[in-house]
Amino acid sequence: MSTPLHHFCNREFTEELEELVERNVLLFMLDGSVIFGRITRFCDCVATILPAIGINGYYGQAFPFVQFRPPNGTLFAPLTISEVDVDVCNIAAVIEGPFVLSPLAVVNGFRVGKTPLTATSFPERKVDSLEEELKELEGQNIGVSTLGGWTFGGQLGDVDDCIVLIGSATTNFPPALVIGSVVVFGPAFPGGSIVLTGNFHAWINLKAVVQVLLP
């Protein structure tokens, strides 16, 4: 791929994204920004994002815009734009699920600094890679941090083909873990985090993962 971010290129992750075409998604970028919209097509290393479908805005009206938050937590409202073309190598993670309202319209999360999760590097265990470590933690409620300042809290699902799957947590350990929800901490949210309750799933580019967090 012709992209300045080629070292984060993950073909398996891109193939997973292609399965989400025409679905409403949250895209978490390596630069710390976040996008809410609908993936419509892929062309080489570029994904086109158009407004989400079936999402209500103010006063119950349809919301015909892509929403974008740069890595600036002081920005109260997201930017509204008609289309975004994204370098797929800049995508650290994507969340898909039963969105009814835009998760970026109003953010009432917890402060990032209050999370009690602690990073672990497993210093006494000899393993081949972080991927192997994650595979040993499948089924546990953990946090996964990526480049861009994102941390995803929930139940670890499958770890395969350079992709990490996070689903809704099965235990409470607030604010990092909320039962029945995926929690995301990051620099783009005014409150520091968002809580997505329901059947949400996060697909994470393993090449962007920097640490595992255990409650």
Q: What string of H, E and C letters represents the secondary structure of 72-133?
A: CCCCCCCEEECCEEEEHHHEEEEEECCCCECCCCCCCCCCHHHCCCEEECCCCCCCCCHHHH
- Assigned domain for 78 exists: yes
pTM: 0.85
Domain CATH code at residue 31: 2.30.30.100
- Assigned domain for 67 exists: yes
- Assigned domain for 132 exists: yes
- Assigned domain for 197 exists: yes
Alpha carbon distance 209, 212 (integer Å): 8
Averaged pLDDT, 100-122? 53
- Assigned domain for 1 exists: no
- Assigned domain for 80 exists: yes
- pLDDT tens-digit profile of 88-99? 989 999 999 999
Q: Which of 131, 81, 128, 104 is nearest to 190 (CA)?
A: 104
- pLDDT tens-digit profile of 38-63? 999 988 889 999 999 988 765 455 67
Which has the higher per-residue pLDDT, 174 or 125? Answer: 174
In this prediction, residue 132 carries a pLDDT of 85
In this predicted structure, which of 39-53, 54-68, 122-136, 137-151 has the lowest mean pLDDT? 122-136
Is residue 171's pLDDT more than 60? Answer: yes
Is residue 111's pLDDT more than 50? Answer: no
Q: How confident is the model at residue 12 (pLDDT cuts 50, 70, 90)?
A: confident
How many domains does one find in the chain? 1
Range of the domain at 86: 6-214
In this predicted structure, which of 62-76, 95-109, 142-156, 201-215 has the lowest mean pLDDT? 95-109
- Assigned domain for 160 exists: yes
- Assigned domain for 53 exists: yes
CB 165 within 8 A of CB 202: yes
When the pLDDT of each residue in the chain is averaged and rounded to a whole number, the result is 84
